[in-house]
Amino acid sequence: MKQTIDALPLTKAIADVLTALGVKADNPAYSTGLTWGGQEGRTRKEIFSPADGNFIAAVTMATAEDYDLVVKQAQEAFKVWRKMPAPKRGEIVRQIGNKLREHKEALGKLVSYEMGKILQEGLGEVQEMIDICDFAVGLSRQLHGLTMHSERPEHRMYEQYHPLGIVGVISAFNFPVAVWSWNAMLAAVCGDVVLWKPSEKTPLTAIACQHILREVLLENELPEGVFNLVIGDAEIGSLMAHDTRIPLVSATGSTRMGKKVGEAVGARLGKSLLELGGNNAIIITEHADIEMALRAVVFGAVGTCGQRCTSTRRLIVHEQVYDQVKERLLKIYPSLPIGHPLSDTTLVGPLIDKDAVQAFQAALEAVQQEGGKVLIGGEVLSGDAYATGTYVKPAIVEAQNDYHMVQEETFAPILYLIRYTGDVENAIELQNGVRQGLSSAIFSTNLLQTEAFLSHWGSDCGIANVNIGTSGAEIGGAFGGEKETGGGRESGSDAWKVYMRRQTNTINFGKQLPLAQGIKFDIMD
């Protein structure tokens, strides 16, 4: 679907970035192959950068009728794509990865400018897309089933996997392209086609990616509907969740949103892959390498300005080293460079918008009412360099694990400092004592402590790290969490299986028809 993009950024640098990615002010930005931009009855949404407040572009939002046209296009493309051998599909994904390599710098800048994460993180997000392409290429030759021995003579049994059809992907603003690619590239080599609804806060990076994908598809004379994009609000997400034509919906976002998606998909007996909230903790024991732990804590707490699902939100520290850790953090935080995300010296960029700032302030007020003590930070920065009102000072709060606000996920740079006493099992109990279960970490040089953390009575999260922080997962491992995090798995390992349907096959190569379990059912003389 083609979609109009107008009023490019006020800075020539960002205009050049969009031009390099194929998005031009005087040409429709490709979205899915049908024209609906600029027509009556369609809402235009203006996109402003949280970095400097500049108006970047306006995009046309899809209607329910537009959505239906896209789904029909995807259905037709699936008829072609599913018949292509998996290694051939992998070849297409390989070409996509190469295109992303060519545009890495430009796309990384756009991610940074539109979302607000620092440039290093923007480039890292594009690298994640490249990495998952490489992973998917190898996977395309390994979509293996199992062969089993039959109890019946002259019979053979095996399992094989088939593509599902259309995979719907609903992505969040904090990783505007990487998490979509985890789903899209694996689904593609599995033989599925993809329908993507990105966050309405970061549509430009999605449109830029769609340009890159379209170029590869056209070069290979493939239908454009293999990868589909619809820019819309929550109504489009609801349509996807309720649509029986979409057998799998993968949704990343808040637990509240995920529950709605899960209920709607479950009501029609569809499949859902949910990556929802995180309330991640790092345990620092009395045997930790403190300096190593501090580096992980700071990156986990303030990276992406605390807007990662894997951000470190709770720091559970043994009483023997509590004061030492607290003192070191209070020295580090004032020196954190906060500023424009495209600056080489910046380590902390802005929050996504003023609503996020209000949530940040409200959480700090609420936790103080419960008895929490703000040790540092919490201010909204002002002045010419921070005129957007989206820059804040990361906060550290002394708190108790059972405080209501500590139990909640606030998508902002708030680190709750929690003291524990006794053995590591007490720390693990605190770590597990929240409704979310995404990422967790322990810093200790004591083997007994680390093994307890990794045992079946240890961390209850989908990700458990030793002497590594909560943030920064590699694509080779399956990514996801438990409890209110949703239970889904994306990216590496055997996560590909969710994008396919499993089929058990039994072949009789004999001349008799024996039944399983030795049942006799003779109807012939």
Active-site residue numbers?
275, 309
Instruction: Give the span between the Cα atoms of 395 and 375, in whole angstroms.
Output: 7
Beta strands 193-197 and 166-170 are parallel
To 5 degrees, how large is the angle CA 489–CA 492–CA 498? 45
Three-point CA angle 430, 425, 490, nearest 5°: 65
Question: H or E stretch including 291?
Answer: helix 290-302
- SS3 per residue for 24-76: CCCCCEECCCCECCCCCCCCEEEEECCCCCCEEEEEECCCHHHHHHHHHHHHH
Tally DSSP H helices, then E strands, for the chain.
Answer: 15, 24
Q: What whole-number distance in Å separates Cα of residue 426 and Cα of residue 401?
A: 12
**DSSP annotation string for 403-416:** SHHHHS--SSSEEE
Token duo for residue 483: 């409890």
Task: State the DSSP string of 168-197.
Answer: EEE--SSSTTHHHHHHHHHHHHTT-EEEEE
Asked if 291 and 400 count as a contact pair (C-beta separation under 8 A), the reply is no
Angle between helices 86-102 and 178-189 (to 10 degrees): 150
Instruction: Name the token pair of 216.
Output: 């590869």
Do 180 and 171 form a contact (C-beta atoms < 8 A)? yes
What is the rounded distance in angstroms from the CA atom of residue 93 to the CA atom of residue 135?
A: 10
Q: How far is CA 478 from the centre of its chain?
A: 12
Residue with structure tokens 């379209």? 214
Q: Is 484 helix (H, G, I), strand (E, B) or coil?
A: coil
